[in-house]
A and B are shown apart, each in its own frame.
Chain A
Amino acid sequence: MANNYEFTPEDLKEIETIKAKFPEVMPATLPTLWVAQRRFGHVEPEVQHLVAETLDLPVSHVHGVATFYTQYYKEKMGKYVLDVCTTTSCQLCGGYDMLHYLENKLGIKAGETTKDGMFSIQSVECLGACGYAPMMQITNDVYVNNLTEEKLDEVIESLKADKMPEFESVGMPQHTERS
């Protein structure tokens, strides 16, 4: 089957490094899907074929893995995917308010993508930032903590200018108190 997707030589080198970590090739499935998603923005069936071919594994296996894990995009998404956490601590601290604010601001519902292909919104399960609720993650990368409507406005403006927010280091309150 002709494939429209191809790994670059750098990708293939990275995949070789991944394979070297394990005694078998199958463990490379998840990390290689990540390489593919970071390269192509999604792991649609054709990309899954590419991963299977590259690792010489059955397509059914790669498909099974890609569909089991929620972070792999099985279809094309917006350039920036806004994953708003709405699980317990975030729910208690206004996660749904933040989600709805974003939905109104961008004119789409959770699970949808804006017409210009810039933004997708998802309501996601606990991201492990419970003390900094409400929060969201942008395209499986940076965490944005302690969200407010103003902070969301800023983040959206910055993303429209193709600028990802920087990683925020949240310290231990015990430390900051004593210093």
Chain B
Amino acid sequence: MSFDWKSYTPVIIPDTPNLHEIDVYTKNGGYDSLKKVLSNDWDPEKVINEVKAANIRGRGGAGFNAGLKWSFMPKPDGGPRYLACNGDESEPGTFKDRKIFEYNPHLFIEGALIAAYAMQCSAIYVYIRGEYYSWIKMMEKALKDAYDKGFIGKNILDSGFDVEFHVTGGAGAYICGEETSMLESLEGKRGYPRVKPPFPAQKGLWGRPTTINNIETLACVPLVIKNGADWFSGIGAETHPGPVLYGISGHVNRPGVYELPTGMPVLTLIEEVAGGMRNGKKLKGLIPGGSSTPILRGDALDGVNMDADSLREAGSMMGTAGMIVMDEDTDMVEMLWRISHFYHHESCGQCTPCREGTGWLEKILLKIRNGDGEIRDLELLIDLCSQMEGRTICALADAAAWPVRYTIDRFRDEFEARCKKSTYALA
């Protein structure tokens, strides 16, 4: 791809000073998309169809078409319906939604309001991880301003559409980024994921129809309404289109969040956008979309692009586009042990394969890291992964197993070198 990334002009987080202030936002065309859909010729179904056609694939990691998700909501029955916005952002390597809270909160608020109109929701909750205390306060301020200007509340812009919008915070639990766990947490409980079905669209918050969307996904919505579905689907990768926030961290010269089209070559992102490897080191590995997405070898990244299809072909996933870059000095055993420690710490404990499995993964990796492992422990780890994957209520067990399975598969020599030779002599 010969895309000139330097000429790209960000639209989710444009370079407009003080855009987080509501007056600056409205002066720059803000809330015009909301006005457009609340005017007479946009019924909710038209909004859903437009968003569906744009093919905004969920930016929280699952990559599901947002408009299609909205269309799963049952017909209104007069009772309450909810939109729950997922700002939990806890996947290691992911730090993008906080940029929206800080630099363009009203774009997200506007997107959520349009989504609530399209699905006929009566209330919106945005759930933000408790650690983001500073950003929760920013969102509280932005919501208050939007209320004061009449964009939220009763009879918004004289359209007859009513919706309430509240921000609420978590208190430190990775699992609450899982959508049904987030609903439990919003309901004031421990974040135990729910068994599906029933899906949230049937039975979500307080048993009522609920849709959960990621913050960045919702921030794309006003842009789609403003510029049209064709504009959005014409940006970036054909099957996974749109602008996206890449969070680049690890051993690069200029880490940070960059807004660019999907489908960017990973090597361009690392070598050019993020300023190349620190200290001129060689690239050893890349976790492309948050810690649960399988690691790719640095020497196998030629021609790999940041979109669902290309990454699947390469043996990984787009996830949250939180790219963790590792140089040649990275100790893969140490790195993997720390990831396993994370998932062990964060398992909610509901399902046995996950509660026990994550603990054993960590324990065995610690043994290998300390030099006491044996080659057969590697097989044991892979076997454990097979006993965890797909056997639990939510995907945390899978998220814990994949890094183990693929890091061992792709850097096996390094793990073997750390293991003791067999204690069973053949002679």
Quick one: CB contact mask for B238-259 with A, threshold 8 Å, 1 for yes? 0000000001111100111111
Residues in chain A near residue B256, CB distance under 8 A: 131, 170, 172-173
Q: List 29 A-B contacts (CB under 8 A).
A: A22-B188, A34-B130, A34-B169, A65-B189, A69-B171, A70-B172, A71-B131, A88-B287, A91-B335, A92-B335, A93-B250, A126-B92, A128-B89, A128-B95, A130-B95, A131-B95, A131-B256, A131-B257, A133-B249, A140-B131, A142-B134, A170-B256, A172-B15, A172-B256, A172-B259, A173-B254, A173-B256, A174-B258, A178-B15
Binding site for B on A (CB under 8 A): 21-24, 26-31, 33-34, 61, 64-65, 68-72, 86-89, 91-93, 125-133, 137, 140-143, 167, 169-175, 178-179
State in angstroms the CA–CA spacing of A141 and B342 once bound together: 22
- Please pick, from B10, B206, B251, B258, the residue contacting A24 in the complex, using a CB distance under 8 A: B206
Size of the B side of the interface (Cβ < 8 Å), in residues, is: 62
Complex contact A141–B166 (CB within 8 A): no
Binding site for A on B (CB under 8 A): 10, 13, 15, 80, 89-95, 98-99, 102-103, 129-134, 166, 168-174, 185-191, 206, 247-251, 254-259, 287, 291, 322, 324, 326, 330, 334-335, 338-339, 342, 345-346, 348
State in angstroms the CA–CA spacing of A170 and B335 once bound together: 26
- Please pick, from B95, B166, B259, B287, the residue contacting A174 in the complex, using a CB distance under 8 A: B259
From A38, which residue of chain B is reached at the shortest CB distance?
B133
Q: A128-B132, A141-B134, A172-B103 are in contact. Are A26 and B188 (CB under 8 A)?
A: yes
From A27, which residue of chain B is reached at the shortest CB distance?
B188
Shortest Cβ distance from B197 into chain A, in angstroms? 23
Complex contact A143–B287 (CB within 8 A): no
Complex contact A89–B324 (CB within 8 A): yes
From B251, which residue of chain A is reached at the shortest CB distance?
A92
Complex contact A130–B93 (CB within 8 A): yes
State in angstroms the CA–CA spacing of A174 and B8 once bound together: 10
State in angstroms the CA–CA spacing of A30 and B250 once bound together: 33
Complex contact A30–B185 (CB within 8 A): yes
From A31, which residue of chain B is reached at the shortest CB distance?
B168
Residues in chain A near residue B189, CB distance under 8 A: 26, 29, 61, 64-65
State in angstroms the CA–CA spacing of A7 and B98 once bound together: 32
Complex contact A140–B133 (CB within 8 A): yes
Residues in chain B near residue A88, CB distance under 8 A: 92-93, 250, 287, 291, 324, 335, 338-339, 342
State in angstroms the CA–CA spacing of A71 and B94 once bound together: 19
Residues in chain B near residue A179, CB distance under 8 A: 15
- Please pick, from A28, A125, A175, the residue contacting B342 in the complex, using a CB distance under 8 A: A125
Shortest Cβ distance from B137 into chain A, in angstroms? 9
State in angstroms the CA–CA spacing of A72 and B172 once bound together: 8
State in angstroms the CA–CA spacing of A143 and B172 once bound together: 15
Max chain A C-beta neighbours (<10 A), residue from B170, B174, B255, B348: B255
- Please pick, from B15, B131, B248, the residue contacting A137 in the complex, using a CB distance under 8 A: B131
- Please pick, from B174, B190, B258, the residue contacting A172 in the complex, using a CB distance under 8 A: B258
